[in-house]
Structure 1
Amino acid sequence: MANYPNPSRRGFLTRTALLGGALAAPAALTACSKTDDGGAATPDGKGGVLAKLKDQGFVRVAYANEAPYGYLEGSDLKGEAPTLHREIFTALGIDELRPTLSEWDGLIPGLQAGKYDVISAGMAITPERCAKALFSEPEFISPTAMMVKKGNPDNLTDLASAKTAGITIGVMAGAVEADYAEGAGIDSGKIKTLQKPQDGADAVKSGRVQAFLLTGISLRWLAKTNPDTQVTDPFLPELDGVKQYSPGGAVFRQGSEDLRDAFNTELKKITGDRQRFTSLLGQYGFAETEVPPAELTTATLCKG
């Protein structure tokens, strides 16, 4: 079996930076979406967590208000995770998602405290997080891509081509993409640090950098508001010879194994059908390149 890393690329970023200014949930909506801590779904000897959720007719989900992973638009909960999870829970006989807004750092503590049943935020699967909660199998992977000027004048395809072209690459401050660039042999003098995604797009358009490195998911979302740019096909960078997949998944409270297992059964039907996956999530920038390979498992990722 391949040796899969556990990159928490999205842990290196402040998650709101992916929006270039996160969508803010209206105060009234935020208040309405929160539930009290009582009544947390726990195994009760009468069918477990899944049975309880089916009986009550809804599942409480947490989101961090960050596009394209999970966010409110008006009163609608949108994004990769809520869209995918709504499809799965409907198949499991639970028709309603009741959202709770959380700061990113509070997602797992809130889950442990029983404030919600599932984290629907596209959270990266890492050993540290696996020690605190249960992860689904990977919902997606996050291959890297480059934003370039329209027409791709330097004919860039990956980091090797960027090194050959001798171009300057932009990366976000504190993000792992700088390690990817250096690992590909690009001189540190050719790597420019930027503070947020829109800074990267602006640097590409002005010519201060010839490429901006980030996940294809985030760059395709960013390109919607930067029409003078384009995004290369995604690729998998390597560190020390290991491909960097950056997988994410749903998160459940420990003791919810029955819910997690049922969720995984329905998830596999979607990730095993590329057309269905892209039909559901294409609107958020997820393409076939984000479909997790069948051999990539959470058990392996959690071991580190």
Structure 2
Amino acid sequence: MNFKLTKTCITAGLLLATSTLSALAGPLMDRIEAGEPIRIGFSNIPVFGFPDENGTPKGFVNEITLGILNEMGYTDVEATVTEWGGLIPGLKANRYDIITGGMYILGARCENIAFSEPIAKTGDSFLVPAGNPKGLNNYKDILAAEGSILAMYSGANTVEASRNEGLSDAQMMQLPGPTETLAAMQGGRADAAALTSFEAVYLAEQSDGKFEATDPNALPEWTQNWVGIGFRDADADFIEKFNAARTAYLGSDAMMEAMKQYGYVEANLPVDTTTEWACANR
């Protein structure tokens, strides 16, 4: 794949494989039939989705998505990097056909977009200063530590989780993404950051011992989540085919080999959990 990174997007121009269209083709199948690329939107999130130095979409969610599309015979892909909060609005505004980058399947999101069947199961963790001097392992600890501030991405599941656990807006620092969240921690403006466990571990490993990740099991069980790929509701025909290819690809030797670099292991496979269940219970 020959990806080119620009200031706002990554573009890949590749040959389009042929496919059989259903009689009720949705907008995405119409685009494919017209020879147009599949447009993927993602945010620059460690481990989940990011561009490498050559502009190639990386991260386990991007790689799984591209692997499934390849299984389907589709390789003409255009990928755009945007802020986390712009993913769902961009999908609904028809700027993207698919959104990746670690989107949890949540009931509130299921009201706005359609999801593939899950591609991963993961929990959240806190990023805290080395030694965790304030003992901040869960939301209740933030509440108990007077004046403590918890950083998080605006629009992330951790915003709702924080409120469900009783945090006030004054205790929550909502930021655009990982760069700003890490800067808040480094500058001492936040006492902890609520992230996915993948991100927390990654950022701790990159901090030269300045930070550590807390145990995800210290957070409530209901903060365990399932990652899906986002689509427009109108693309039900494509989602059906995508899910069929997902079944063949997920957990395959090829996929698990590609996942080693991201720390995705067998325990992250979404065994026996459906999108319908996640939409109703998360």
Q: Give the alignment's TM-score, normalised by structure 2.
A: 0.66
Equivalent of 1:99 in 53, 60, 79: 79
Equivalent of 1:197 in 181, 184, 197: 181
| Structure 2 match to 1:37 | none
- The Cα of 1:91 is off from its aligned counterpart by 0.7
Deviation digits for residues 8-41 of structure 1, max 9, x if unmatched? xxxxxxxxxxxxxxxxx634x639679xxxxxxx
Cα distance change, pair 267–158 in 1 and its aligned pair in 2 (3 A): farther
1:297 equivalent to 2:274? Answer yes
Cα distance change, pair 95–146 in 1 and its aligned pair in 2 (3 A): same
**Unpaired stretches in structure 1, ≥5 consecutive residues:** 1-24, 35-42
SS of corresponding position for 1:62: strand
- The Cα of 1:108 is off from its aligned counterpart by 3.5
Root mean square deviation, CA, Å = 4.7
Is 2:67–2:255's contact at 8 Å kept on the other side of the alignment? no
Cα distance change, pair 167–278 in 1 and its aligned pair in 2 (3 A): farther
Is 1:144–1:214's contact at 8 Å kept on the other side of the alignment? yes
| Structure 2 match to 1:108 | 88
SS of corresponding position for 2:233: coil
**CA distance in 1 between partners of 2:248 and 2:218 (Å):** 24
**CA distance in 2 between partners of 1:72 and 1:231 (Å):** 24
Is 1:59–1:94's contact at 8 Å kept on the other side of the alignment? no
Amino acid at match of 1:234: P
Deviation digits for residues 157-207 of structure 1, max 9, x if unmatched? 9649x79xx99976215776588689889x99xx8969643256537xx8x
Equivalent of 1:256 in 193, 214, 235: 235
**CA distance in 1 between partners of 2:24 and 2:164 (Å):** 53
Deviation digits for residues 190-246 of structure 1, max 9, x if unmatched? x8969643256537xx8x95x6543211112212420214434532622xxx52223
**CA distance in 2 between partners of 1:121 and 1:63 (Å):** 8
**CA distance in 1 between partners of 2:157 and 2:91 (Å):** 27
Amino acid at match of 2:61: A
| Structure 1 match to 2:68 | 88
Amino acid at match of 1:70: G
Cα distance change, pair 101–129 in 1 and its aligned pair in 2 (3 A): same
Cα distance change, pair 61–81 in 1 and its aligned pair in 2 (3 A): farther
| Structure 2 match to 1:132 | 112
1:234 equivalent to 2:216? Answer yes
Q: Give the alignment's TM-score, normalised by structure 1.
A: 0.62
Deviation digits for residues 261-301 of structure 1, max 9, x if unmatched? 2222232345445x765533343454445433x23221123
Cα distance change, pair 146–119 in 1 and its aligned pair in 2 (3 A): closer
1:70 equivalent to 2:49? Answer yes
Cα distance change, pair 112–171 in 1 and its aligned pair in 2 (3 A): closer
Cα distance change, pair 234–48 in 1 and its aligned pair in 2 (3 A): same
Amino acid at match of 1:130: C
| Structure 2 match to 1:40 | none
Is 1:168–1:192's contact at 8 Å kept on the other side of the alignment? no
Question: Which residues in structure 2 correspond to 1:132-171 (within 5 Å)?
Answer: 132-147=112-127, 159=138, 171=150
**CA distance in 2 between partners of 1:194 and 1:300 (Å):** 28
Cα distance change, pair 299–236 in 1 and its aligned pair in 2 (3 A): farther
Q: Percent identity?
A: 23
